[in-house]
Amino acid sequence: MMQNVHLAPKSDEDDLYSGYNDYNPTFDTEDLENDTAFQQAVRTSHGRRPPITAKIPGTSASRPLATGFGSKTVLSSSMGRPMTGAIQDGVARPLTAVHAAGYTKAALRGSVFDPLGQARGPAPPLEMKNEDTPEEKIRQLEKKVNELVEESCIANSCGDLKLALEKAKDAGRKERVLVRQREQIASPENINLDLTYSVLFNLASQYSANEMYAEALNTYQVIVKNKMFSNGGRLKVNMANIYLKQRNYSKAIKFYRMALDQIPSVHKEMRIKIMQNIGVAFIKTGQYTDGISSFEHIMSTSPNLKAGFNLILCYFAIGDREQMKKAFQKLITVPLEIDYDDKYISPNDDPHTNLLIEAIKNDQLRQMERERCVEVVKASHYVELANDLEINKAITYLRQKDFYQAVETLKMFEKKDSRVKSAAATNLSFLYYLENELAQAANYADLAVNSDRYNPSALTNKGNTVFANGDYEKAAEFYKEALRNDSSCTEALYNIGLTYKKLNRIDEALDCFLKLQAILRNSAQVLYQIASLYEIMEDPNQAIEWLMQLISVVPTDSHALSKLGELYDNEGDKSQAFQYYYESYRYFPSNIEVIEWLGAYYIDTQFCEKAIQYFERAALIQPTQVKWQLMVASCYRRSGNYQKALDTYKEIHRKFPENVECLRFLVRLCTDMGLKEVQEYVTKLKRVEKLKEIREQRVKSGRDGSARSRREGSGSGDGGSAKGERLSAKLRALPGTNEPYESSGNKEIDASYVDPLGPQTERPKTAARKRMDEDEFADEELGEDLLPE
């Protein structure tokens, strides 16, 4: 038993505490410069490690492990492969642990570290697209087919039916070539069925449009019989339509019914139209009973006027009067979807339509309609409704811009009871106020107030007439009374704000408009008034803030934009001022003040060439004002284009031969350019200056004589003379007297807000126009409106 036990010799016993003072040469750093293996490893980080020497054992080399039997084996992995760096059969296994960082086994010693592969140079150019491949040819052919189909549809919409048919045929030929090519290089499953369907459907439609019905039916038949087209059966409706045009009614009915079977019930409208066509086909064949069945089904599910008329026709044909009455009752229950108020108003400027409307607007049927309707209501228990109908009739006249008939209709209520009289008088006051007949407006306003003192609309209109006469304190009292009667009367609140503004009671006016802003959110007129009041209070920052809110509501309001530009200009912010002035000019390029400011801005910034286009536009708007043309010539002169300036001055002199400034600059330019024409212009200048001096002397002597006669007669005319002299001084101070252009100051550039509805003078509001536009007329509210300042 002991024969297999071997005792280790005593010389092999290890000392437990030995080795602590031994020196490991691996950590010797003094001689590293002379160590070739270390230097090689430093120079190349991805090369192969130097072979392991006996003197300096490598850390990655395999170490033999002593076993209990005294043998030494090399460690291997659990999968049986040698460890990294192990030597088997004289070949060292590569260091695979560093492959992911860019190291390769085949790298040579001394190569440069290049993990991104930049040393390999630029990437090779992209391969050119080969257009000769079958796939590319098929793709191009498919694109051409789609283009032909689109061109065919466009030609059809433009009315060129022959061209549409030719394009459709060409698309069909190319589509067949495309299918054959696809079958040669791919399986039939890759055929584009949607393209085939669209080509065939378009071809059939073009055949039908050109009245080639046989070809159209054949093409439709190809689509219908192909089971690969899922919705092809619905095209039987088109085939039935063709049979109906050919008067082949039996086949039309057959195909309509076949199409009806294939259309699901969710498409209710389509099914109703097909049923209606079936009924029409039955009428054409004289099968009125079958037609009645179709139309009765339509009237029970989705009634319409055509089906109702056809149903009555069928009952008339079979002589059933009772059913005719029932069918007529069903017909009159169908909503006409016509607004009675607008059916006599022309929707466009078509002369034929206007003549037709004029012919039927007052024909016998229309007269009978008005008389019987109103008379029947008057004879019933709804007398109040008859009065409302009459007022609505007056409103309809207003919409038709027939003011005379509207006034005559409203005057009929002068002898009615107080409420109706007040409503009619309020409307009459409003109409006369719009026509600027203030005396008549005041009379009817008094009548409205006397008839109903608690009518806020009547009180507002009365205040409007007093406001127009300049009695602002009294107007404010009427507006206050209207607000006491109805605190929600926004028109009275707006007008009292305007009144306080006229009375220079700015704080009270601001309170009114701020209250109104809380009621009428995003009202452009209210926002402008608040901004205007802050400007009067010399608070430009608040004015700018409210104007910014205004242009967020009406971003295309050119006057609001120019006002913003003016405020920024007054604040010295030229860039912001230019931005808003330019936006204003873009939306409304005919505002002379904006044009003048933009021209002045470009001249101040030394861009005279850009200023020319603005002054040229000003000259187009005001061709009789010589100063704009002088400014154009001055811009040419300042930009150094003296020849163009000279030509412009000559053109100005031709139009305005007595303009002194033009002649002066012609003399100066001709002298500087050494032209022979200078003497001619000098002579003309002297003559014009002499004539001007003679005129001024005559005017002065005439003014002195008239002043002397007034002093001798009475002393009451001094103010008029002073006013005339001030006016003359103002005219003499206009730009262009001494210099063809002088940059205008801020005071010469002004803009006032004009609402998008149109330019208006500042006046109190009336409400009827707003409610007339919104179809919300009430008899006690006609006569007030929010009008722009």
Question: What tens digit of pLDDT does each residue of 648-688 get?
Answer: 999 998 989 888 889 888 988 898 888 888 888 888 888 88
Averaged confidence pLDDT in the chain = 75
pLDDT of residue 695: 84
pLDDT of residue 767: 41
pLDDT of residue 581: 94
Name the percent of the chain lying above pLDDT 70: 66
Name the percent of the chain lying above pLDDT 90: 23
Could you tell me the pLDDT band of residue 783, with boundaries at 50, 70 and 90? very low
pLDDT of residue 40: 74
Lowest mean pLDDT among 245-249, 394-398, 515-519, 671-675: 394-398
pLDDT of residue 196: 86
pLDDT of residue 316: 92
Q: Which residue has the tokens 């009289």?
A: 421
Mean pLDDT, residues 483-498 = 91
SS3 88: strand
Q: Which residues are 88's β-sheet partners?
A: 91
pLDDT of residue 186: 65
Q: What is the torsional sign of CA 132, 135, 136, 138?
A: positive
Most confident of 6-15, 584-593, 752-761: 584-593
Residue 180: CA count within 13 A, CB half-sphere: 6
Tokens of 532: 């205007």
Higher-confidence residue of 318 and 386: namely 318
Residues 6+ apart with CB under 8 A from 245: 213
Tokens of 194: 């949607």
Tokens of 694: 């003679």
Query: What is the spatial distance between Cα 446 and Cα 436, in angstroms, rounded to a whole number?
Result: 17
Instruction: Using CB atoms within 10 Å of the CB of residue 68, give its burial: 0 to 12 exposed, 13 to 18 middle, 19+ buried.
Output: exposed
pLDDT of residue 28: 64
Q: Considering the domain 134-336, what is its CATH architecture? A: Alpha Horseshoe (1.25)
The boundaries of every CATH 1.25.40.10 domain in the chain are: 134-336, 618-696
CB atoms within 10 A of CB 374: 16
pLDDT of residue 17: 56
Tokens of 528: 């402008």
Q: How far are the Cα atoms of 391, 397, 417, 425, 427 from residue 421, in angstroms, in the given order?
A: 11, 19, 6, 6, 10
pTM of the model: 0.46
pLDDT one-digit tens code per residue, 728-767? 333 333 333 333 333 333 333 232 223 333 333 344 554 4
Residues 6+ apart with CB under 8 A from 59: none
Domain 618-696 in CATH 1.25.40.10: yes
Could you tell me the pLDDT band of residue 71, with boundaries at 50, 70 and 90? very low
pLDDT surpasses 60 at 646: yes
Lowest mean pLDDT among 67-81, 88-102, 671-685: 67-81
pLDDT of residue 741: 32
Could you tell me the pLDDT band of residue 311, with boundaries at 50, 70 and 90? very high
Q: Which of 482, 550, 597, 496 is nearest to 755 (CA)?
A: 550
Mean pLDDT, residues 187-214 = 84
Tokens of 10: 């005593």
Query: What is the spatial distance between Cα 299 and Cα 285, in angstroms, rounded to a whole number?
Result: 21
Beta strand pairing call for 72-73 and 65-66: antiparallel
Cα–Cα–Cα angle for 220, 222, 223, nearest 5°? 65
pLDDT surpasses 80 at 278: yes
pLDDT surpasses 60 at 543: yes
Q: Which long-range contacts (C-beta less than 8 Å, at least 24 apart) are formed by 198-202?
A: 198/149, 199/145, 199/149, 199/168, 199/171, 199/172, 199/175, 200/172, 201/235, 202/149, 202/152, 202/153, 202/168, 202/171
Q: What is the torsional sign of CA 438, 441, 447, 450?
A: negative
Spell out the alpha helix ranges (H) of 538-659. 540-553, 558-570, 574-587, 592-604, 608-621, 626-638, 642-655
Most confident of 365-374, 403-412, 644-653: 644-653
pLDDT surpasses 80 at 296: yes
pLDDT of residue 545: 93
pLDDT surpasses 80 at 274: yes
Residue 149: CA count within 13 A, CB half-sphere: 22
Tokens of 461: 């209109």
What is the DSSP code (8-state) at residue 141? H
Could you tell me the pLDDT band of residue 235, with boundaries at 50, 70 and 90? confident
Lowest mean pLDDT among 384-393, 559-568, 572-581: 384-393
The most distant pair of C-alpha atoms in the chain lies apart, rounded to whole Å, by 169
Most confident of 53-67, 276-290, 697-711, 770-784: 276-290
